[in-house]
Amino acid sequence: MFPDIPAASRAFLGDLRGFLDRLPAELVAAAQAEYAADELEPGPASLDVWRRMGTDRWVGVTWPVAEGGRARPPIDGWLFAEEMAGRGLFAGGLTISSIAPTLIRVGTPKQRGELVDGMRTADVIFGVAYSEPEAGSDLAALRLRARPVDGGFQLDGVKIYTTCANIATHLWVAARTSVQPRQQDGISVFVVPTATPGITIRRLMTQADGRTNEVVFDGVRVPATALVGEVDHGWGIIRTALAFERALPYGVVALRLGELIGHLARAEAVQPVDGQRSKLMQLLVDVEACRVLGYQAAVGRATPAAASMNKVWLTELRQRMAATGLSLLGEWGTLGLGEPDAPLSGHYERMYRASVMRRFAAGANEIQREIVARAVLDAAR
């Protein structure tokens, strides 16, 4: 049966919804406003929601009990992520969706003990430091060096687009520890506290008014215990983390489409135009397809190719929806977030500016298609 949401998971979802419904309305509204403005960097209200949820163990529900989780099945993790996104609430970002499950899988007991519990309650927040000025989608071309020194490693180099570095307690750093014939080899992963001397964080502003960062590592010394996994064998860890990262929730896309359909159904000022209904219907179909692909990526097939399929479909739909939605809203759609006369609170204007990023972040969609193609063609050989 597909998609199978068993009774126990429906009950879990009901309990989660009950918890969320009991949060103070003002706090939720403030967190939703923060999320609408910037889905990647949590503001104070979002952090407050995160802490409250983590304290009651609603964050990391699929994690082992020993790590502070509830050992729920993968489908419950999917329901959690989708419910949060569907309410327009920050769900811990990459700290929770990507780094925590990766660390639980490959981290040392010491790393897990020091970090995972704090991630659940927003006391530990990660910025993910992969991209460099000369290594974007070709991540394996990264140059930031980590040299062995007494007692650990010294990191030197530059990372860019390290979102949340400015609020993070730690950085998840991909670094080159040796030069080998295959560039994927010789890469290692480190956990680096942002307060470590030698780290400089510089603000970069995006076209969507969101903040990301450049992070300069100048003689940054970390202990050997900062290494995640084995030295020179970090590529597999990065791929694991990226697969988690690409299993993006579609909930916020569904939320925004529901808002648009409701608005156009109600708004007397908006005159229906030819083709409007059909455009909305097509978006609805595409969102439903998104739900299916998201489920397959998170629960059903759970392969890297399935995650890439989900990422491609969702991110391209998001941009298509933003453009179509703005077009249907007409000239009032130009009004930005917070403007009193902006239809749908300006969500579509902001989504239009922000959505392009999702297509190239976490590996450009062309790379994702390459991952899918490899799986398909390998099966045909």
Binding site for another protein (CB under 8 A): 1-3, 5, 10, 13, 21, 79, 82-83, 86, 251, 254-255, 258, 261-262, 265-266, 277-278, 280-282, 284-285, 287-289, 291-293, 295-296, 300, 305-306, 309, 312-313, 366, 368-377, 379-381
In the complex, minimum distance from the CB of residue 233 to another protein, in angstroms, rounded to a whole number: 28
In the complex, minimum distance from the CB of residue 181 to another protein, in angstroms, rounded to a whole number: 21
| Nearest to another protein of 174, 297 (CB atom) | 297
Alpha helices in 247-333 (DSSP H): 251-266, 276-295, 304-329
Quick check: 319 and 325 in contact, CB under 8 A?
A: no
| Nearest to another protein of 82, 214 (CB atom) | 82
In the complex, minimum distance from the CB of residue 372 to another protein, in angstroms, rounded to a whole number: 4
| Nearest to another protein of 53, 264 (CB atom) | 264
- Identify any residues that bridge with 204 across adjacent strands, giving them in sequence order: 212
| Nearest to another protein of 223, 262 (CB atom) | 262
Please tell me the distance from the alpha carbon of residue 378 to that of residue 381, in angstroms, as a whole number: 5
| Nearest to another protein of 195, 377 (CB atom) | 377
Quick check: 87 and 20 in contact, CB under 8 A?
A: yes
In the complex, minimum distance from the CB of residue 326 to another protein, in angstroms, rounded to a whole number: 19
Reading the block at residue 363, the tokens are 């590996």
Alpha helices in the chain (DSSP H): 7-22, 25-37, 44-55, 74-86, 93-94, 100-106, 109-120, 235-246, 251-266, 276-295, 304-329, 347-360, 365-380
- Identify any residues that bridge with 158 across adjacent strands, giving them in sequence order: 216
What values do phi and psi take at 233, rounded to 5?
A: -120, 40
In the complex, minimum distance from the CB of residue 301 to another protein, in angstroms, rounded to a whole number: 8
In the complex, minimum distance from the CB of residue 203 to another protein, in angstroms, rounded to a whole number: 35
Quick check: 90 and 38 in contact, CB under 8 A?
A: no
In the complex, minimum distance from the CB of residue 329 to another protein, in angstroms, rounded to a whole number: 16
Please tell me the distance from the alpha carbon of residue 127 to that of residue 37, in angstroms, as a whole number: 19
Quick check: 1 and 214 in contact, CB under 8 A?
A: no
| Nearest to another protein of 113, 272 (CB atom) | 272
Quick check: 175 and 187 in contact, CB under 8 A?
A: yes
| Nearest to another protein of 159, 246 (CB atom) | 246
| Nearest to another protein of 189, 312 (CB atom) | 312
Question: What 3-state DSSP class applies to 131?
Answer: coil
In the complex, minimum distance from the CB of residue 147 to another protein, in angstroms, rounded to a whole number: 36
Please tell me the distance from the alpha carbon of residue 82 to that of residue 205, in angstroms, as a whole number: 28
Q: Output the CA torsion 330→331→333→337 (10° steps).
A: -170
Q: Are strands 170-176 and 152-159 parallel, antiparallel or unpaired?
A: unpaired
In the complex, minimum distance from the CB of residue 250 to another protein, in angstroms, rounded to a whole number: 8
| Nearest to another protein of 59, 158 (CB atom) | 59
- Which helix (H) or strand (E) element contains residue 15? helix 7-22
What values do phi and psi take at 86, rounded to 5?
A: -70, -20
**64 preceded by cis ω (within 30°)?**
no
